[in-house]
Amino acid sequence: MQASIGNDYRKAPTYIRETIIVSPLLIGGLLAGGLTVLVCVGFISHSLERSRLERARQAAELSARIKLSRHAMGSIPGQFLPPELVSVVMQIEAALLDRLYNISKTPDIEKRLAQTRAAIAEGNLPSNPVVELDNEAKGKEARVQLENLLKQLQLAQQDRLIDAATFKQAGGLVRRFLITATLETFNATAKLGMQQGKPRIAKLQYERAIAFLTRLNNPALAQHLEQYKRLMQRAEAAVVEQNRADEGQPSELTAGLAELESEDADWQKKAVYDD
């Protein structure tokens, strides 16, 4: 049988024998070509998906930055939002919206970008009411939002949305406001403690203020540091007087509290950023 097949193959025309020989090569080439096409299609598909995910990530990051900046601007007390600072933040927001629009060209983003640019051009800058930081909760919220705003300024400078000079000026303002907000909270809490006849609370707040100013190690704040040391000494004296009163001994606590509240009232109202 095998000899018969061999004889048949040798007797076949030449073109048939060539076809029989070439066919396996052709099939192999087609398989290799098909595999190459599949690999290319997969690579292109993967690249397109990766690009889509990257655009989505960038859009989400830009949206988060815009949202955080707006929340900070809407929450910070008005005394910490001078027009020059608001203007810088709005310029950053416009730049972020412009980048976001380049990624996701939606009518909403286009409208927000146009409104922000118009507000900057017209000088129609938002403002917030002044808020007295008369308790720890208000003080903490103000400090958190100021810190968020400072982070946004730092990111904007890293992304070249603002230059180094602008960041130095705006960042310096925010840092001084952070100091002011911290000291105002200490003052208010201490004053409340004295009004409620709790000089130990006032003493603790003055100690915290002294520790805070000491850590800053800023010569420009030396006067404030000395003032807080004097206030703490008086609070300590008030604690001693209260202890005597609790023991049934004569006390001058009431007079001391009145003197503590009235003295240096103008100094306590003075903002740190005026130094």
Mean pLDDT of the chain: 82
Q: What local confidence, expressed as pLDDT, does residue 54 receive? A: 80
| pLDDT at 15 (0 to 100) | 46
Residues in the chain, pLDDT under 50:
1-6, 8-9, 11-12, 15-17, 20, 250-254, 257-258, 264-265, 273
Cα–Cα distances in Å, from 243 out to 83, 138, 195, 250? 49, 31, 17, 10
Please give the pLDDT value at position 259. Answer: 53
Q: What is the pLDDT of residue 244?
A: 82
Task: Give me the pLDDT at residue 13, please.
Answer: 52
pTM: 0.73
Give whole-number Cα distances, 255 to 62, 195, 228, 237, 246, in Å.
57, 12, 20, 12, 16
| pLDDT for position 9 | 44
Per-residue confidence (pLDDT) for residue 262, from 0 to 100: 52
Q: What is the pLDDT of residue 3?
A: 45
Provide the pLDDT for residue 140: 93
* Secondary structure (DSSP) of 26-84: HHHHHHHHHHHHHHHHHHHHHHHHHHHHHHHHHHHHHHHHHHHHHHHHHHS-GGG--HH
Q: Residue 144's pLDDT is what?
A: 95
